Structures are given as structure tokens and as C-alpha cells.
Amino acid sequence: MRAASLLVVLLLAKTAVLWGRTPPVPVWALAAYGWQDVAVAAAFGVWEAVLRVRASRLTGISAAAYWALAIYAAINIPIGRVVSTPLTWPMLRAARGPLADSMLLYVTWTNAVLVAATLMAAAILPRLLRRVPMIAATCLLPVLLVGPAAAARVDTHGMDRNVVVALIESGLPRIGAKAGAADWRASRFAGANTDDLSRLRGIAKGRNVVVISLESTAAQYLSLYGGTPDVMPHLTELARNALVFDNAYAVYPESIKGLFSVLCSTFPAFDSEPEAYEKVPCRPVAAVLADAGYRTALFHSGRFAYLGMESIIRNRGYQVLEDAGDIGGNHHSSFGVDEPATVARMLAWIDALPPGRRFLLTYLPIAGHHPYAAPDGGPFAVHSEIDQYRNALHYGDVSLGTLIEGLRARGLEDNTLWVVYGDHGEAFGQHTGNYGHTFFVYEENVHVPLVIAALGLLRSQQRVRRVVSLVDTAPTILDLVGLAVPAGYQGRSILDPAPRMALFFADYSLGILGLRDGPWKFIYEIESRHRKLFRLDRDPRETEDAAGSDPARSAWYAAVLRDWSGAQKSYIASR
């Protein structure tokens, strides 16, 4: 039987992923990491035995299945070593042409040797383990019995999942649609009303609006939020006369559905595909401004075809939509074109407008996205991947400066409202297994910069401490320019002083829900039901889990997140 060989292959592949990346755990807890592999190998063994009994000629099917599983486990090694998760359906869906530059970086000799060694073991082991007695297999029964309980007690960050199990689970609904209506962002815990900005309503009436969504930009890397060095000096300069929000959160750690939340002031739904949002009715901020006489345009240095972005931006009130294919440029990558070419195209569009015509300009740069390839290298010495990232952010900031200077040269500086935010963050291992942006909801994933500037009106920097969400962006813009906010928005103007929670989730690998409520940050893992509670004013790095010491708060947060995610899934599905 090949079941014993398959088990060894699965465990070898998992060891290759975990080695040096997972903190030491008690010996008894090793069952948490291996029990699903044991279960899959046992199921394969039962299936293989049934085939043998029914017809010996079907053993060829067994061999093919064995190799399919072994090859799939080997393929997952470099993926797991990079992002600390087996492949999932959302990840497979995302692995398209635009990711080519990112994926090629990990075709390394180390990964090639690990994959080859695993496949070699898969070839040799059936001969070596041909006569493994059944009693040896029964010795693994305790692992199956203890494993689930161990996984419930040990935070494995999802690495206990077998590669096949992870693929199957991520393709099934993890949140059930459940109709419900409530003010999900209202906290039951007392919070102080602070940062009353209601005096600013209508302050930017008649102004042009420039919205910039900074790609993969977490707040913690910027000097505005205490980061060093200053990787975005032009943004720092713009913020000297601006509202700077200290606690702004993306609703989803990925660009496409995050953009939907900004344009339509509507939360995306768990386990949903971007294409589903094409039919979701909303009054996008661009449409409201267009109806008020604004000319509207969106320029993207990347490609609209990536991950269903077209379904998010088409028919959303933009009269002009241009991406890398329309813009062209001097520097091409799988993701798009150089930022200077995009800025030049935007300024040309402004120049072509009738004199005095108000406009909404939305700019989606691609600088900051992995693989962090700044065409000119950058000013910071590169010792690690985060240094490359800093150079990429700086490269994007240079183009931001060019755009600011371009409007100044055209006499538009004092007639423009600037809204600059990070679409999501970026992680570099601050928490175990957390790399990139899509897989977790720690601060490095979802805490983003948000700067609102109106030169000539805001004459100094004001720090806003209140928790806000990017779903509040559209109503805030309309509130600032003196236009009515559509009734269907799920976000609320930031100028409203009432405190509210920020809600967010991730579903690319594990199913994770989270919220920020005043100083508190709560994270809930759907599959394992693990809960984490952090007091960020005392523990900004999210290292001290207080869930056990405040079970009532944790229980209420978990219930709100489950109800909200079910209601939002029902809301999106019913549109």
C-alpha cells in the first residue's frame, strides 16, 4: 500500500515549509501540525484497499492518485515557505499573468532542491515501505485523536492544514448568509466622543477633488506615523496642512474589493468574487460628483483586468478610465507601467478640460506592490526585502510630488481637495507567517494612512485619533464638498463626531474577522475559533493577547463579527 509512503511525503513537505519558520512547540503539540496529513493518508489507504478488493486492474488509478497528491504537496513547498499557507482557491484564482514578476522571484535553488527531494522520496518510498505492517499504521491513531484538540490549543496560523484539506475548505462557504440589520459598528462599550470635525462640512465646496489610493502602504512605515526613514517626503509635506487620521483601517487587505468599499461606501462580503459586485447597485462617489457637474476620471498604473477590477470600476460614474494598456510608458512590468507616465497622462487630461471645469481625479499607482521593483533603484541601501519596499514607496512618492507640483503650476493648488490613503498594508514577518498583505488582519495588514488636505483652508496639521474606516471615504468627500450623502451608504462621514468601530476581514487563506474599537483590537479565526484581543495603546505590536482576561468583551466582539459577516453576505447576494 502506498498510504504509508504518502504520509511520509506529506510530512516531509510540511517539514520543509515549517523548518525555521515556526516557533518551537511542546512535543505533544506536534500532533496539531500533522494530524490532517495522517487523516488524508489514512483516507487514501482505505480508498486504495477498496480498489484492490474490487479489481486489481484499478491499481493504476491508485498510482496516479498517489503521484498527483505527491506532486501537489511538492508544489506547495515554495508557496508555503513564502506566505506560510498552503494553496487555496482564492490564491489559485489570483495567480494570473500580473503576478508573474512576483512568482519568478521564488524560483530559487533552495526551493528547487526541496521540491526535487520530495519528489525523489515519493519515488523511492513505495519500495522501502512496501511491507509496513498494519499494526504500525494503528500507532498513528492517537495522532488522529489528539490532533484536533491540540490544534484548538495551539495557534498554528493555519499551518496544521493538509494541502488538500486547505484547498477543499477554502472552496466551500465558511460564512453562511444570514439576513440581519443593525448598526454593526456601534460599540456597547463606553467610548469618549472626540475629534469633532463637523465644522468642516462644506469647507471644500466648489473645489476639485484628487483621490490617491497608495498601493500596499501600511501606516507604520511612514514618518507621519512614526516610521523611519521618511520614505514619502512629499506626502509628509502635503500633510503639514491637513487632517491626519491616526487610526484608519482598510476593510479588506487586498486592492480590488477594498476599492469597492471606497467607491460605493459598502462593505464587501466574505468568500465572494469581485465579479459579483458588478451587479451590486450603489451610488458611487464619482457618479454623485458627475451629476453635480464634475468631470471624472480614474487612472491606474496597473491593469484593470487583474482580479476582476473591471467589475468594480465600470459604470461607477467615471467618464474616463485608463490603465497601463492605455497609458504606455518607459518601464513595463507584469503589473503595469511607470508612475511618471501615468502622472503625465493625468496632467494632460486636466489640461484638456474646459477652463474652470471642476474635476474628480482618482489615481491608483502600482508602486509599492510586490516585487517592489523601483526602476531607478532608490535612495535606501537594500539589505532586505523591506528595504526594496521602502524604495518602491519612495518611487511612488516622487510621482506624487510631480502631481502636486503639476497642479501648483496650473494654479489649482488652492482649489483642490486631496484625499490620500493606503488601500491596505504590507507585512514582513512582524507576526508568524505574515508576509504580503492578503492573509491576516494585523496592524501591518489593515492599519493604513489617511490624509485629507485642502491647502488654504486647513492651515496646520490636525491629528485625528478617532477610529475610522475606508468605507467612510465616499460620504466624507461628499460632506466636505457640500453634497448630500446617498441614503444607501454603509459608511458615514468622518466629520460626524459619533465614535464607531472599524470592521475588516480576510479570506484568502484562513477565514479571519476583526475589528478595532477605541484602543481595543479583536481578531477571530473562523475555522479554529481562536480569539485574540489586544490593547493597542499599551501593546501596539499586538504581542500580548488579552482575550483570556476579558472573556465578556471577546465574546461580544466575536458575536458581532459573525452576525455582521453573515448579514453582509446576505446583503451582497440579494442585490
pLDDT in tens, 243-264: 999 999 999 999 999 999 999 9
- Alpha-carbon gap, residue 538 to 518, rounded angstroms: 12
pLDDT in tens, 45-102: 888 877 776 665 566 788 889 999 999 999 999 888 888 889 898 888 776 555 555 5
- Alpha-carbon gap, residue 166 to 207, rounded angstroms: 50
- Residues 223, 236: contact at Cβ < 8 Å? yes
Average pLDDT over residues 437-452: 97
- Alpha-carbon gap, residue 442 to 466, rounded angstroms: 18
As beta bridge partners, residue 322 has 299
Percent of the chain with pLDDT over 70: 92
Residue 279 or 28, more confident: 279
- Residues 1, 31: contact at Cβ < 8 Å? no
The domain limits of the chain are: 3-170, 203-499
- Residue 22 confidence (pLDDT) above 80: no
pLDDT tier at 192 (50, 70, 90 boundaries)? Answer: low
- Residue 39 confidence (pLDDT) above 70: yes
Those residues with Cβ within 8 angstroms of residue 191's Cβ, 6 or more apart along the chain or in another chain: 499, 517, 518
pLDDT in tens, 459-507: 899 999 999 999 999 999 999 999 999 999 999 999 998 889 999 999 9
Give the position of cell 473591471: 310
Poorest-pLDDT segment among 63-67, 108-112, 129-133, 434-438: 129-133
- Residue 517 confidence (pLDDT) above 60: yes
Where are the strands (E) in 425-461, listed by range? 427-428, 435-436, 447-448, 450-453
Torsion over CA: 492, 496, 500, 506 (sign)? positive
- Residues 222, 233: contact at Cβ < 8 Å? no
Residue 361 or 55, more confident: 361
pLDDT tier at 444 (50, 70, 90 boundaries)? Answer: very high
As beta bridge partners, residue 524 has 513, 531
Which value, to the nearest 10 degrees, does the dihedral of the CA atoms of residues 237, 238, 244, 250 take? -110
495: which 3 cell numbers?
Answer: 466629520
Residue 376's pLDDT is what? 81
List C-alpha distances in Å: 232 to 224, 236, 383, 449, 554: 9, 6, 19, 12, 37
Helix, strand, or coil here: 495? coil
Residue 323's pLDDT is what? 94
- Residues 413, 471: contact at Cβ < 8 Å? no
pLDDT in tens, 101-110: 555 556 688 8
Those residues with Cβ within 8 angstroms of residue 46's Cβ, 6 or more apart along the chain or in another chain: none
Side chain identity, residue 343: V
- Alpha-carbon gap, residue 140 to 302, rounded angstroms: 50
Residue 306's pLDDT is what? 79
Q: Which fold has domain 203-499?
A: Alkaline Phosphatase, subunit A (3.40.720)
- Alpha-carbon gap, residue 133 to 242, rounded angstroms: 73
Residue 105's pLDDT is what? 59
Residue 322 or 45, more confident: 322
As beta bridge partners, residue 243 has 452, 462
- Of 528, 544, 514, the closest CA to residue 249 belongs to 514
- Output the DSSP codes for 363-392: EE--TTSTT---TT--SS--SSHHHHHHHH
Q: What is the mean pLDDT of the chain?
A: 90
Those residues with Cβ within 8 angstroms of residue 442's Cβ, 6 or more apart along the chain or in another chain: 427, 430, 431, 434, 523, 542
- Residue 334 confidence (pLDDT) above 60: no
Residue 328 or 408, more confident: 408
Those residues with Cβ within 8 angstroms of residue 289's Cβ, 6 or more apart along the chain or in another chain: 209, 296, 317, 360, 478, 481, 483
Residue 234 or 98, more confident: 234
Residue 375's pLDDT is what? 82
